[in-house]
Amino acid sequence: MSGGSSGSENVSYVGEDDSDYFRILHGRKLNNLNTVYLLPADDDETKRFEYHHRMIQFVFGGRHYIGPVREALQFGQRRRNLGTGSGLWAVAIADEFPRAEVIGIDLAPLQPRDVPPNCTFELYDLDSGPIPYPDEYFDFVHARSIHFGIRDYDRLLKEIARILRPGGLVLLIEPDLTPLADGQPILRSCAREVQDWYSLWETVRLCLAKLGVDVQVPERLAEMVADTGSYESIVKRDGNIPVGFWPADLESLTVGQLAWMEYDLLIPALKPMFLSLGLPETHCNTLIANAQKDLYHPQLNLFNSTKASEAAQSHLSWPEYLAIRANRRRWQNAMTIPCSLLGLFTGASYFGSLDTDPTKVIFGIDPFFFYGICTTACMGFGYLMGPTLGNAIWRFSHRRAGALIDARDREFYQHITKRRVDASLQSPTSPVPDYYGEKIGSLHQYRQWLRDQGKYRRKAVLPED
C-alpha cells in the first residue's frame, strides 16, 4: 500500500517519541489516541508483539499469512496492515513483496525506523470514524488482535470492504477470550484446578463490555464478515494454541513456549484497564498474581483459541449485474398491475358508497363524472406506486448484495450519462431512445442501446436532406 498523498489530514506519521502520542496511566505508557484500547504501548508490549508475531508465524507454517495473498501481491499492489503494533508483520511483507506498497497503521509509534523503502507507518484510531482512504484503494487488508480497541466491528468490516478493490483480500485474526484447558472451554462449575485463570479472563470480558467492546467478536468473526454482504469466498480458520511447555512434539512446544511468554507479559499489562474501570488495586494485584500462578504451575494444559477469517471483497460481473437489473425491472412491472387494480377497486368502493345527489355539481362537474375521475386517479396512483413497491420487495430479497448492487448502479449510471445522446439534441416528437438505460437487462441489450444512441446522434447532427 502507499501512504503518499492519498491519506488524510487526520493521519499522523511516525515521528519522534512525543507526549502527544502517549500518556501514563497507572504506571504504564499507553497510546493517546484511543480511550478504549487500554493495553500499554511500551517496551514490554513491543516484546509481547514480537512473541505473538513469531507464534502466529509458526502456526501458519512459517508464513506470514494464509490464503491467496501471493497471487494478490506478486505484481506489486497496495496492502494495509491495521493494528500493526511493532510493525514486524508489515516489514516482513514489504521484504517478501518488494514491489508492493505496504502501510502499517496503529495507535502509537512503536514501529522500527529502519524499514524497507516500500513500507511506511501511520498513526490513526480505527475506532474514530472512516478509514481515510478512497474507495477500492487497496488489494489486501490484514488486521490482527485489534478488537480490544474497536467498539463497532461491523462498521470496521464495512469500511475495509469499502477501501478494498473488487476481489481484494482481507485476513482477520482475533484471539478468543474464552479460557481453555485440555482443549475445552473452562466452565465456572468445573474451573477448580484453574479457577484463577478463569477469573482473570472473565474479568477481562466484563471490562471490555463496560468499554463498549463486543467480546463475542472473535467467536462470531466469520459470521460477521458474511453478514456485511460485502465479502465472498469466506474461509473460517479456528485453532487451539497450546500455552506452556507441556506439548510433546517440537513444533507445538515452540508455539506453546511463545504463547506462554506472550501471556507472561500480557497478564500484568491488563492492570491499567482493571484499575481504570474501578477495580481495587489490591484485588487487581491478587487477580494477576493468582493467574500468573496458574500460568507458571498449571494443573491442566492451558490453551488459547485463535479465530481467523479470510475473504475476498465481493464484486458483480457486468453480466450478473445486468441480469439483476432485468430481474428488478420485472418486479417493478409485475407490481404495477395489482397496485393499479387495487387503486381502482379501492376508489370504486369508496366513491361508489357515497350518497350522491345527481342534481348537485362538484366543482362545476357532474358528480358521477367527478367520482369517476377520482376513481381513475386512484388507479393512476396505484400505477405509480407499483414500481416503488416492487422495487422495495426486490431490494429486501437482495438485501445481502445491496451494497454491491448500489455500487454497480453508480458505475452503470456513469456509463449511461457518458455515452447517451445529449438531451439538447432531442425534440418533443423524437425523444432520445431509453435516455436512462432503464430497459437494459443484458450485454446484448446494452450493445443495442449503444447502437441506437449512435444512430440517433448521427441523425440529429447530420439530418437528412
Regarding whether 332 and 283 lie in a shared domain, the answer is no
Regarding whether 256 and 308 lie in a shared domain, the answer is yes
Regarding whether 248 and 218 lie in a shared domain, the answer is yes
The whole model's pTM is what? 0.68
Predicted pLDDT of residue 402: 74
Regarding whether 301 and 334 lie in a shared domain, the answer is no
Predicted pLDDT of residue 406: 80
Regarding whether 10 and 91 lie in a shared domain, the answer is yes
Last residue of a domain, one of 298, 313, 328: 313
Regarding whether 139 and 205 lie in a shared domain, the answer is yes
Predicted pLDDT of residue 463: 59
Q: Print the domain residue range for 446.
A: 318-461
Please report, for the domain that includes residue 200, its CATH number.
3.40.50.150
Regarding whether 144 and 19 lie in a shared domain, the answer is yes
- At residue 131's C-alpha, the angle toward residues 128 and 133, to 5°, is 150
Last residue of a domain, one of 286, 313, 340: 313
Q: What is the mean pLDDT of each run of 10 residues along the chain (465 residues)?
A: 35 53 92 94 94 93 82 61 81 89 90 88 92 88 94 95 86 92 77 87 96 96 90 87 95 96 98 96 96 94 92 75 85 90 90 80 81 90 90 81 76 86 85 88 88 87 62
Regarding whether 410 and 369 lie in a shared domain, the answer is yes
Predicted pLDDT of residue 5: 29
Regarding whether 102 and 33 lie in a shared domain, the answer is yes
Last residue of a domain, one of 264, 292, 313: 313
Number of domains in the chain: 2
Predicted pLDDT of residue 328: 87
Regarding whether 192 and 125 lie in a shared domain, the answer is yes
Regarding whether 110 and 35 lie in a shared domain, the answer is yes
Regarding whether 287 and 378 lie in a shared domain, the answer is no
Predicted pLDDT of residue 316: 65
